[in-house]
Structure 1
Amino acid sequence: MMLGMGCVTGIQAQQRPNVVFILADDLGYGDLSCYGQEKFETPNIDRLAQTGMRFTQCYSGTTVSAPSRSCLLTGMHSGHTYIRGNIELEPEGQFPLPSETYTIFDAFKEAGYKTAAFGKWGLGFIGSTGDPKNQGCDTFYGYNCQLLAHSYYPDHLWDNDKRVELKDNTLDVQYGKGTYSQDLIHGKALEFLDNMSADEPFFMWYPTIIPHAELIVPEDSIIKKFRGKFPERPFKGSEPGSPSFRKGGYCSQFWPHATFAAMVTRLDVYVGQIVAKLKEKGLYDNTLIVFASDNGPHLEGGADPDFFNSNGIYRGYKRDLYEGGIRVPLIMSWPGKIQSNTQTDFMCSFWDMMPTFREIISPKSKSGNQEDGVSLVPLITGKKGQKEHEYLYFEFQEMNGRQAVRKGDWKLVHMNIRGKHPYYELYNLASDPSERHNVIEEYPEVTQELKRIMQDAHVESPDFPLLEP
């Protein structure tokens, strides 16, 4: 019987793994100790890498939140996917995924899985076609609006379509008092796992907002461990009484370096607790755990990615299509299926997650969307027949529009597309991974080939136009 059709027995359910996908927010390639971070440690995330596979050439969907998530959930690159920019809509939320979208949640539900998301959504306000419950998500708890997710002490969150008031988050919350949203959301995720059993497969998406600005954590032992450890440059941000306070502005922070280290450390603790809960419930051995970040490190709210070497050797930050803006950590751990302590330089991206998950849970199913990804199952399970990408394509609507395409070692970047003086840059990532030497004048044939790919990969969207002035 094809999975997802008719009744799924307990035996069949046990043969398919649970999936937990942890998505960090603006975590740079170099922000984990297993990827080179030296100023603090991430032992629990490192342990995932030790028990599974670490990817060194994984790319996010694009370089900012909503479109990167759209690529992840639909299996389409940013020249095809439905959401291609961060557009704020009233009363609270972003431009919605259309009703006909086929998401990862739909694929899991068709295969008989329980589905849940805990954290930041940003793909459609409550009641819209992009509402989590209208996109195949059984349970949602967290921020619907990614702009309001700039605050870690919000006045409300969402429990499915029910607004949850956080009345203790008064105007003094910038100093670490009240309800820290990520602790509350994390607790709800652990509750969800507590209610799962071995004969009921589940997919849990965990899109935390850590370590997105603002920089703030509760007053506990984690932050106390880091205060005084680093040189600091206080950040003056949004204060109570400001129109942007808790409405997208970032709070002031006297200890920005210490706070950033404490935030990533807190995320690492969360990851350890998720793994511990899976083991406690007897679910760990049959669970695929994926850890990634939605794009490169940000520069807002007092963040200092250069101090922490957050993008490693790579040039650029969030909103760039240079490697630092889109190359992200990816770790996959699956006991008995993925060999422990392995590393791969296979070139992949977020739109590979849809075909990968579909092959694992329901091999004969079809996406219903444009098929841009390739399944990573052969790679992660050590089998032959892994299909490779001919190219990877990226675009970004802001800053007059940007495009990038990577094919093999070559990378072409198109800048200032809608401006008066658009231009291209060409890099060879094998010899110049930091993209410091533009060699476009030396390789005209390579440039023309990548330009053609760039033109073919982009389909203009009326809602998110890239080429129109």
Structure 2
Amino acid sequence: MMNMFFTGRLILPLGLFAFSSQLHARGGERPNVIFILADDYGWNDLSCMGSKYYETPNLDRLAKHGVKFTNAYAACQVSSPSRASIMTGKYTPRHGITDWIGEKSGEAWRTMERHNKLLPADYTWNLPAEEYTLAECLRDNGYTTFIAGKWHLGEKGSWPEDHGFEINKGGWTNGSPKGGYFVPYQNPKLSDGPAGENLSMRLSNETVDFMREHKKRNKKKPFFAYLSFYAVHGPIQTTQENWNYFRNKAEKAGIKENGFVVDRTLPVRQTQDNPVYAGLIKQMDDAIGVVLDAVEEMGLDENTLIVFTSDNGGVTSGDAYSSSLLPLRGGKGRQWEGGIRVPLLMQYPGCTAGVVCDVPVIGTDFYPTILDFAGLSAVPEQHRDGVSLMPVVRDGKTPDRSLFWHYPHYGNQGGEPSSIIRRGDWKLIYYYEDQRCELYNLAMDISESEPLNIQYPEKVRELKTLLDAWLIEVDAKLPVADSEYNPLKEAQVKLTWRTAVLQKQEKLRKQMLSPDWKPNKDWWGSMVTID
């Protein structure tokens, strides 16, 4: 693995990263933690990660004042498993949630009429009660725990308040915003605000209100605020003002004739020029700015860790076909880098501003990192698949480990049942349909354009052996052959994806960029949803 930290083009010597020895300054208070999680937000869907189209001044501010990780990963290419791994510190096969909760598996998969070769593995539909979550651990160590936004880790009885959160504003069963991004929200854990209120801003305001009330009532007690946006999950929505601004921006940059290519299964977006999605990002970034401003105004920046990341890669195919993550291949639901690599920003007292970290890290690391930052004892029997990132950013220590993923399912974004290992710059994907491996070197080919199996057969064997051992260790459930598999019917489905769906997406892209486009008469209720 790379053992490098740099700001701009300057490589900084290890140890230069001053980690404040005054974590318990201000009268020995434990530090606060604000964890901001976006939904389906891509690796380069923000300005500080290279986007020239989306505008994220507040996330850029966080990157400027903190640490930006370029090799950060979600624990899964879809939502629920990744979120469960953040809460538990475990890889997905250990907690059992390997697909987004609500998706069909086993023989029920046949009702999707995709006629696939395999039946996806069954999975757990509720975050197990025996898991000692990050929220429970912090609560038990004197923290007030708060969530605003998406949960998607089970039915009632397995909601945030059942797993350590004392205050819950908006977290429940659903993984997408049932009522959209404007009132009415149709959320049993979040009352409706005034007409025109935006969901992302509402969740930020709830978080700020919590911080103000907490400071007033519990001056010495720390808090854990989990701001979990529903944005930028579909259905994508924005205001007419935002749409018009980003439509004009796309036009000035030059609108390409074609915006999609078919990659193995579904059409994949190749351009960042979706004005509705850009407006949705702006709404989320504006809301993040409200929280960052409040942190500074209340003086909490002197004693608060702020983390921002995403639960999986951005949506390039399926759902709303929202974005392009080039040079990364694929997106949400897929096994390539676009599906699992995510943005990660961290700001904390004493960190060196504007640092870029290339060390590969993963969502299971947050649990031990936060405990380490808070000065709390580790719980290794719980967060067994994570390591603290504080030695990484403090001392430049690179963990000697492999990273793993297991997704024994078909994704509605084109993903295939597979397991993955990354070790150093090498990445191996194993496909369950045909027992095939793909080997890539991410330092040489970040786009995963050409497998290196023939050139490096010994590396394939090495990584496959490590992956097999890990699958046994975690008792991973595997997909099984479907006895009713019909290859002709499957071919017909894929032909439709490559022709009719491709044509539909190209048409919609042009319509959304047309000056007279209107999704419906009521922009507050405007929805863009695609089959």
Query: Which band: TM-score by shorter chain?
Result: 0.7 to 0.9
Q: Which residue of 1 aligns with 2:11?
A: none
Say which is worse superposed, 134-143 or 356-365, in terms of deviation: 356-365
Distance 2:93 2:457 in 1: 24
Distance 1:388 1:320 in 2: 26
Kindly state the Cα deviation for residue 295 of structure 1 after the two structures are TM-superposed: 0.9
Q: Post-superposition, which runs of at least 4 consecutive aligned residues in structure 1 deviate over 4 A?
A: 10-14, 164-168, 459-462
Is 1:314 paired with 2:328? Answer: yes
Kindly state the Cα deviation for residue 393 of structure 1 after the two structures are TM-superposed: 0.2
Gaps of 5+ in 2: 1-23, 105-123, 257-272, 411-415, 482-531
Contact persistence 1:32–1:42 (CA under 8 A): yes
> Residues 394-423 of structure 1, C-alpha deviation per residue, up to 9 Å, x if partnerless?
0113225211100111100012x1x3x231
Is 1:37 paired with 2:54? Answer: no
Q: Which residue of 2 aligns with 1:208?
A: 229
Kindly state the Cα deviation for residue 104 of structure 1 after the two structures are TM-superposed: 1.0
Distance 2:200 2:442 in 1: 37
Instruction: Give the TM-score normalised by the residue count of structure 1.
Output: 0.81
- Code of the aligned partner of 1:194: R
SS of 2:70's equivalent in the other structure is strand
- 1:404–1:13 distance in 2 versus 1, CA, 3 Å: farther
Contact persistence 2:242–2:275 (CA under 8 A): no
Q: Which residue of 2 aligns with 1:82?
A: 96
Kindly state the Cα deviation for residue 300 of structure 1 after the two structures are TM-superposed: 4.0
Is 1:398 paired with 2:409? Answer: yes
Is 1:262 paired with 2:279? Answer: yes
Q: Which residue of 2 aligns with 1:238?
A: none
SS of 2:238's equivalent in the other structure is coil
SS of 1:149's equivalent in the other structure is coil
Kindly state the Cα deviation for residue 362 of structure 1 after the two structures are TM-superposed: 3.9
Contact persistence 1:22–1:292 (CA under 8 A): yes
Q: CA RMSD in A?
A: 2.7
Distance 1:167 1:117 in 2: 18
1:278 to 285, 295, 318: 295
Kindly state the Cα deviation for residue 461 of structure 1 after the two structures are TM-superposed: 8.2
Contact persistence 2:76–2:405 (CA under 8 A): yes
Kindly state the Cα deviation for residue 14 of structure 1 after the two structures are TM-superposed: 4.6
Distance 2:32 2:230 in 1: 23
Is 1:69 paired with 2:83? Answer: yes
Say which is worse superposed, 438-447 or 111-120, in terms of deviation: 438-447
Kindly state the Cα deviation for residue 342 of structure 1 after the two structures are TM-superposed: 0.6
- 1:304–1:370 distance in 2 versus 1, CA, 3 Å: closer
Is 1:383 paired with 2:395? Answer: yes
Q: Which residue of 2 aligns with 1:118?
A: 148
Gaps of 5+ in 1: 1-9, 169-176, 234-255
Kindly state the Cα deviation for residue 179 of structure 1 after the two structures are TM-superposed: 4.5
- 1:214–1:89 distance in 2 versus 1, CA, 3 Å: closer
Q: Which residue of 2 aligns with 1:132?
A: 160
Contact persistence 1:79–1:393 (CA under 8 A): no
Kindly state the Cα deviation for residue 285 of structure 1 after the two structures are TM-superposed: 1.6
Paired-residue identity, %:
31
Distance 2:103 2:42 in 1: 28
- 1:98–1:302 distance in 2 versus 1, CA, 3 Å: closer
Say which is worse superposed, 272-281 or 356-365, in terms of deviation: 356-365
Distance 2:473 2:127 in 1: 16
- Code of the aligned partner of 1:33: S
2:477 to 452, 458, 465: 465
Say which is worse superposed, 446-455 or 356-365, in terms of deviation: 356-365
Aligned residues: 410
1:98 to 107, 122, 128: 128
SS of 1:324's equivalent in the other structure is helix
Q: Which residue of 2 aligns with 1:226?
A: 246
- 1:124–1:459 distance in 2 versus 1, CA, 3 Å: farther
Contact persistence 1:79–1:460 (CA under 8 A): no
Say which is worse superposed, 296-305 or 433-442, in terms of deviation: 296-305
Task: Identify, as 1 or 2, the structure richer in helix.
Answer: 2
- 1:132–1:322 distance in 2 versus 1, CA, 3 Å: same
SS of 2:248's equivalent in the other structure is coil
Distance 1:278 1:350 in 2: 24
SS of 1:230's equivalent in the other structure is helix
Distance 1:14 1:158 in 2: 39
Say which is worse superposed, 361-370 or 450-459, in terms of deviation: 361-370
Distance 2:441 2:349 in 1: 37
- 1:217–1:67 distance in 2 versus 1, CA, 3 Å: same
2:209 to 191, 204, 208: 191
Contact persistence 2:159–2:171 (CA under 8 A): no
- 1:389–1:207 distance in 2 versus 1, CA, 3 Å: farther
Q: Which residue of 2 aligns with 1:439?
A: 452
Q: Which residue of 2 aligns with 1:108?
A: 138
- Code of the aligned partner of 2:468: Q
Distance 2:378 2:250 in 1: 52
- Code of the aligned partner of 2:311: D
Q: Which residue of 2 aligns with 1:452?
A: 465
Instruction: Give the TM-score normalised by the residue count of structure 2.
Output: 0.72
SS of 1:328's equivalent in the other structure is coil
1:152 to 165, 171, 181: 181
SS of 1:79's equivalent in the other structure is helix
> Residues 75-128 of structure 1, C-alpha deviation per residue, up to 9 Å, x if partnerless?
1122323311123299xxx921111111110221122111111111000122x2
Contact persistence 2:151–2:228 (CA under 8 A): yes
